[in-house]
Each structure stands twice: as C-alpha cells, then as structure tokens.
Structure 1
Amino acid sequence: MKGDESMKPKVYIAEPIPKAVEEYITQHCEYEKWQGEGKIPKEVLLEKIRDKDGLLNFGSKIDGTLLEAAPNLKVVSNISVGYDNFDIEALKARNIIGTNTPYVLDDTVADLIFGLMLSAARRICELDSYVKTGQWDREISKEHFGLDVHHATLGIIGMGRIGEAVAKRAKFGFDMDILYYNRNRKKDAEAAYGAVYGSLHEVLQKSDFIVLMTPLTNETYHLIGEREFDLMKETAVFINASRGQTVDEQALITALQERKIYAAGIDTYEKEPIDISNPLLQLKNVVTLPHIGSATLKTRCNMAMTAAKNLVTALSGEIPPHIVKELK
C-alpha cells in the first residue's frame, strides 16, 4: 500500500494512540484522527467515518446507524480485548470485519486483580486514609485487622486467558486452592494449577475470594445478583474486573452495606464514569478503581499496535489474526 497517497486506504483514528503506532499507520494508510477532549461525540464520528475504509476505535458503539453512515467501511479494529460495543449482526449484514486485541493485556489485568484482592482483604486504601487523616494516634487494634490472601480458596468465574493468569499467580505465588466455573471445562488449567471445576453455586459458596472475569453477553448480564451474593460467605471478598453490567450493582451495594460479604474490589461499573452520588463511593469496604485493567503505558501501547496491525492487515486484503469469533 505504499506509493501514491491517493491509493492508500482511508482510516479514522477515534482514540489517542502512541506516536510509534501513528507512524506505523502512516506507512500504510491515509488517516484523520480525533484530537478533541474526552470521548469522541457520536455525531462527529458519524461525520468523519463517511468516506473511511477503516476505523481504529476503543469503545464507541458500532451499530447499524454508524455503519449506514460509512458505506466504504471494511474493518473496525477495537483497541480492547472486549467487543461488547460491536453490533455483531449489523457487522455481519454488511460483511465488515471486527477485530480485538487478545493476549496483550492478560498479565496486566491479572496483576490488577491481585492488587484489588490484596487491597480489599488487607484494607489498604481504607487504612492509607486512616494514616493520612491523622487518625493513627495509638497502636492498631482488632478493628483494623484484615484477611489473609495466602492459602485461601479462590473462585474464578470465567476461566479464560486472564482467569488462567490469575490462577497461575494464585497457585504459585499465594498457595491458594482454586475453584472455577466456566462454560467449558479447562483441563489444561486443572492440570497446571490444580483448579477444580464446579457449578456457579458451588464456587460462590466455597470460595474466600471470588473473581468475576466473564465477557458481557445476554447470558452474563447481571450474572451476579442478590441470590448470588446470598450464597457467598460473610468473609468473602468479591472482585469484578470484567464488565460492570455482569453485576447487579444495587445487589452489590446491599451486600456490602449489610455485610453479607466482607469486601469488594471493583474496576468496572454499570455506568461509567461512575456517578459521584453512587453509594459505592461512600463505603469503606469496597476498593473502587476507574476501569484501569489494562492501563499501563507498555500494555496500552502494545494494544494500540496490535489493533493497528489488525486494521492494516484487513485493509490489505489479508485475514487479520484477531477477528472476533462471531465474525469468523
């Protein structure tokens, strides 16, 4: 695709990307990019996409309205492992390729999950505030104690690549026993980490720490709600680093307020950014992060480059390596 600029495919970059990634795209494509503050408004994206062959995107909704405005569009490349922003049927109907960025962020997200587990169990954020606000004026007492992570039982709901990276850390770093629930048995994970397969009910009942790592689908919407929190131990720590809509947030708030569970660590919410009036932000027994699962400089750069290569490969007429499974 090098050569005459007019022969290069036209793409739109809807997210800020590292300079190295932009330079790579320059070699292969003619492009425009969003340079405004915050998320690109939908009306701007609809205007900019009209004559484009490809779109590099982070989370903007890819639906029939957008696709109708882009008659030349051939590929949408997500800078994300998730793709619940894709209207799969609309993409299929127009024979448009959709790609994502698996593998690149697995270890980074697994690290964050353990950060949430440790922070919630040992009350790190709560006690950091306790020190900084001048309340530490005597020896700590039992009321400040937390829970051990090591040698506890970890339940993983969704044993995908990130789930397996969490299991690896749990087994070899913290000597944890591992239970898991997944659509399919993962014999490799069972052999490598001693993971034991169980029903969702069993995993929720028996686990000291519960990590939710399922994609958002019709089947997983509000997968964890009042009934599921009622099954958990009073000493359980619940972690969600998947998608906010996989949890009934009001049921989570009630479980924390009424001490049905010990604590939670949350990186994703039903509405993002979270509303300042959300009761989660008033609770001491929950660690709240601003959806930073993959947010390290190295990982985000690698994700953007992977997405750019998916985009360029598809526009060159070849099959990109990371087409989302529903579109293969």
Structure 2
Amino acid sequence: MKKLLIMLNVPRQQFDEILPDWEIIYPEKESFTPDKLIKKVADVDAIVTVYGNILSNEVIDAAPQLKMIANFGAGYDNIDMEHVTKRGIVVTNSPDPVTEPTAELAMGLMIGTARRMGEMNTILKNKEELQWGVMRNLSTTLVGKQLGIIGMGAIGKALARRAVASGMSVVYHNRKQVGADEEQQLNVTYISQEELLKTSDVVSLNMPLTAETKGMIGKAQLQLMKPSAFLINTARGPVVDEQALIEALENKYIAGAGLDVFENEPTIPDALRELPNVFLMPHLGTATHETRGEMSALVALNIKTFFEGMVPPNQVS
C-alpha cells in the first residue's frame, strides 16, 4: 500500500475518493509539529505541501522513499527545486482552480482600494466621526482608467477580462508577449514595464515569485507611478520591497495599495495596518469553499496519475 502525508489540514473527501487504496496521514490539528513531521515521513511515497509553507530539505532527506511532492497551490517557491531535482523527486502544482478566484479577489481589491471601501467601513464600524456630504469622502472610479498587469499568465488574463468588462483599458507586461490573436480577444496591449508603471492608474502584480521577480517592485519602480495610481498585489509578498512601498504610501508617491500577500507572512508591518489608504487581506486569493475542494481533487489526481505510470497533468519538475 502506498503512503501519502498531507502537511496541512485541507479538504479530505477528494483524497479519500480518488486515492481509496492509499494510506493517507493527515495532521491531527492544523499541521504537524517539526518533530512529528520528520518522524512521519520516514516511509512515505508522496507528500502534499501547501503554498506558503516551507518543505525543508531536512524533511525531504528524512524521506528516503519519497518519489513525489504535490503542491496544494499554483506556486511552488516553498520547495527547494534544485534539491528535489537532484533527488529525482517529481513535483506538481495545482494552478487551474486558483485562476478565477484570485482574479476575482484582485478585482475586488482594485474596487475596494480605489473606492476607499476598507477605510470607510473601518470608520463606520468603529463609530468614528465621519462628516457626510456631496463633496466629502470622495474616491476614484475605475471606469475609463488604465489597468497595467505585470504577469499575463492565466490569472492576469482572467483579471483582464474582468477589467475590460468594467470599462477599463488594459495594458500588460510579461516575460513573453502573448499571441496577437489572444491580445485581440482579451483587448489588451503589450508595453514595456517602465511605460506601464508610468501610465497606468492601477498596477496589478500577477507574476510568480522567482529569483528574477523577487523585489522587482522597489523604490525606483514605485516612483515611476502616478501619484493618483494604486498598486494591487495578489502574487507573492516578496515581489515588492515592502519598506519601499510603505515609504511610497506615506510620502504619497502613489495613492494607495490593495494587498493580499506580504513579504514576511503572517507578519504585517504596523505601518501598513495603520495607513488609511491600504486595503489588506490575509492571503485569501484562493480561499473559497469551492476552490479548496477543487484544489484537493487536482492534487489527488496528480498523485494518482504519477503512480499509475503516466505524466501528471501539472508536473513542474
């Protein structure tokens, strides 16, 4: 009987249905303690990791029979890919279910930040003094504004469709320009990253975290943006220099930010918590009941496919 360890508490029904002949080790609580994890992986064939949670090389090396790591999430920056490649371990991710909900949240952050929804909600709920009036508490409409998307993968494309439907124009920058037919279908225009930052009313970050993208939005990039522009990040926290972002917000180099991810999660700097022009979410891009179940099913399918001798649909190694 094959043995699978799932590092964190995720929906179980899909694993039990798709892998009925497997011995599956679930955490008793939210996750395993480091000591327990080391002991539990000694004879496992596969491990399910969860985005944002590091699978250490120490744990990997404590699992001599390990043949596969299936990541619950689109990113796999929580795994030392060089190390597992040397071990000959196959790695998969689960990108498809995360596309629409992440784009949905990015659109929500855009609206919430531009229309000051978080700020107004906090004031009203805390019963702080708020003056009402025709020319008070004004915000920014997105209709007619330019959205600049950095990272035109599946999530970027899903966000572009939403933005165009909301009356925005969309430009993008990507490592590789998408095809002309798809650009026409999405109604998007490819421009340089510098031009995108200079001209966009909203900049949305939708790239993976890699050595090349880490810290790619820093002081110089933020100072290129319009003073009236908003920065939205649903990618990964470390793609932004968080201290540079705080300084840009405090000095009003940009108008505001909507953030679902942070540089050192779950730690969020007090400055970001206290700034009224920042809309914060606790990494909830994929956090819907429906999406979590779909992710479990896809992770289980990747495992089933691999151990039946076929290439998994989402192999990344």
TM-score when scaled to structure 1? 0.92
The gaps in structure 1 that reach 5 residues or longer are 1-7
Of 13, 26, 41, the residue aligned with 1:49 is 41
**Which residue of 2 is the match for residue 192 of structure 1?**
185
Contact 1:245/1:269 (<8 A) preserved: yes
1:104-129 alpha-carbon deviations (Å, 9 max, x no partner): 11111111001100000000011112
Task: Work out the CA distance in 2 between the residues paired with 1:143 and 1:74.
Answer: 61
State the secondary structure of the residue aligned to 1:31: strand
* Cα contact 2:12–2:296 (8 A) shared by 1: no
- In the aligned structure 1, how far is the partner of 2:282 from the partner of 2:76? 19
Match of 2:73 in 1: 80
What secondary structure is seen at the aligned counterpart in 2 of 1:50? coil
Aligned pair count reads: 315
What is the Cα deviation at residue 26 of structure 1? 4.9
- Give CA-to-partner distance per residue, 1:268-321, whole Å, 9 cap, x none: 00111124x531001000001100000000001101110111112212222211
Report the Cα distance in structure 1 between the residues aligned to 2:136 and 2:201, rounded to whole angstroms: 20
Alignment-derived partner of residue 305 in structure 1? 297
The answer to whether the aligner puts 1:278 opposite 2:270 as a matched pair is yes
Deviations 1:25-46 (A, max 9, x none): 5513112111124x43333222
SS in structure 1 at match of 2:315: coil
Q: For the structure 1 residues 218 and 57, does the alpha-carbon distance in structure 2 shift closer, same or farther, using more than 3 Å as the test?
A: same
The letter for the 2-side match of 1:241 is T
Query: CA separation of 1:231/1:146 partners in 2, compared to 1, >3 Å: closer, same or farther?
Result: same
2:90 corresponds to: 97
Shift of 1:137: 6.0
Query: Percent identity of the aligned residues?
Result: 36
Q: Distance in 2 between matches of 1:13 and 1:77?
A: 9
Aligned to 2:241: 248
Helix, strand or coil for the counterpart of 1:104?
Answer: helix
Give the superposition deviation at 1:141: 5.2
Contact preservation (8 Å) 2:218, 2:245: yes
Determine the C-alpha separation between the residues in 1 that align with 2:87 and 2:251.
49
Q: Is the 8 A contact 2:48 2:70 kept in 1?
A: yes
Q: Please say if residues 18 and 297 of structure 2, whose CA atoms lie closer than 8 Å, have aligned partners that are also in contact.
A: no
1:65 aligned to 49, 58, 64, which one? 58
CA–CA distance in 2 between the matches of 1:280 and 1:152? 25
Report the equivalent of 2:144.
151
Once the two structures are TM-superposed, the CA of residue 15 in structure 1 deviates from its matched residue by: 1.8
Counterpart in the other structure of 2:210: 217
Give the distance between the partners of 1:179 and 1:100, measured in 2 at CA. Answer: 28
CA contact under 8 A between 1:167 and 1:178: conserved in structure 2? yes
Structure 2's unaligned 5+ residue stretches are none
- How far apart in 2 are the matches of 1:205 and 1:134? 38
Aligned ranges 1:154-165 → 2 under 5 Å: 154-165=147-158
Tell me, yes or no, if the aligned pair for 1:101 and 1:307 is still in contact at 8 Å. yes
TM-score by length of 2: 0.95
The CA RMSD measured in Å over matched residues stands at 1.5
The alignment partner of 1:28 has SS state of coil
Cα separation, 2, equivalents of 1:118 and 1:209: 10
Q: Deviations over 1:181-230 (max 9, x none)?
A: 10011124411122111111000000000000110001001010000010
Distance 1:232 1:143, change over 3 A: farther
